[in-house]
């Protein structure tokens, strides 16, 4: 990327560049794909103004010995010198409210489920999934708890995707939200979801957030 043979407006994964401390990543803003959604989530921090100091281990590379490629040993190099401590994110997906329908199935009542994913360096990338709730997009209740062990919280994005389960065809994505882990507030929270074209919706997820130091 850029690729002279590429005909569409697809985007690279910006997380790969952010992991190396690159401050400017070229993306096609006309394409609201998964990668642009990660970009929107990244810049929620600090009121969306973009002025956020890099983590110490991206500034003092010699001192931290930070290497995003070495995902097996990275958790072992953490120390007080770089002011980064592993954390455990405990998320309970309690319920949903007013979940929007698929644009392709406007007459169909969704069977929603939630995928929670974390995006950062390789050792922090995880995916968890709730069960689907049959025929209830108004107030589905999951009440499922998931744990994520995150070694580099300042580099981590947390993403929520709501899908409509379908036994015969591919599942339709209904809404999403993405944000930096460092901006998450603990306790009971409502997450206001965005449509897949990034428009605002009335859809929300009711969750409980707990963060513990490991």
Query: Which of these three, 82, 104, 121, is where a domain ends?
Result: 82
Residues 133 and 146 in one domain: yes
Give the closest residue to 205 by CA, choosing from 213, 146, 194.
194
What DSSP state is assigned to residue 109?
P
Residues 113 and 151 in one domain: yes
Summarize pLDDT for 151-187 with one digit per residue, the tens: 889 999 999 999 999 988 889 999 999 999 999 999 9
Query: Which of these three, 82, 115, 138, is where a domain ends?
Result: 82
Summarize pLDDT for 128-140 with one digit per residue, the tens: 999 999 999 999 9
Residues 197 and 94 in one domain: yes
Q: What is the pTM of this model?
A: 0.90
CATH code for position 102: 2.60.40.150
Number of domains in the chain: 2
Residues 35 and 140 in one domain: no
| Domain housing 31 | 14-82
Residue 3 covered by a domain: no
Residues composing the chain: 214
pLDDT at 64 > cutoff 90 = no
């Amino acid at each position: 990327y850029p690729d002279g043979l590429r005909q569409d407006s697809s985007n690279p994964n910006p997380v790969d560049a952010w992991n190396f401390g690159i401050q400017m990543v070229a993306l096609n803003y006309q394409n609201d794909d998964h990668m642009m959604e990660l970009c929107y989530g990244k810049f929620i921090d600090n009121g969306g103004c973009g002025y956020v100091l890099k983590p110490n281990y991206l500034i003092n590379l010699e001192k931290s010995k930070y290497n995003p490629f070495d995902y097996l040993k990275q958790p072992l190099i953490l120390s007080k010198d770089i002011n980064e401590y592993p954390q455990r994110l405990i998320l309970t997906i309690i319920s949903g409210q007013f979940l929007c329908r698929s644009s392709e199935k406007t007459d169909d009542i969704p069977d929603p489920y939630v995928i929670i994913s974390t995006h950062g360096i390789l050792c922090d990338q995880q995916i968890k999934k709730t069960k689907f709730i049959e025929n209830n997009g108004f107030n589905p209740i999951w009440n499922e708890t998931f744990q994520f062990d995150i070694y580099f919280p300042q580099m981590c994005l947390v993403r929520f995707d709501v899908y409509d389960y379908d036994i015969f065809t591919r599942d339709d994505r209904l809404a999403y939200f993405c944000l930096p882990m460092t901006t998450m507030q603990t306790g009971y929270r409502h997450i206001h979801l965005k449509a897949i074209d990034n428009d605002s919706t009335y859809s929300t997820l009711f969750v409980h957030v707990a963060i513990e130091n490991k």
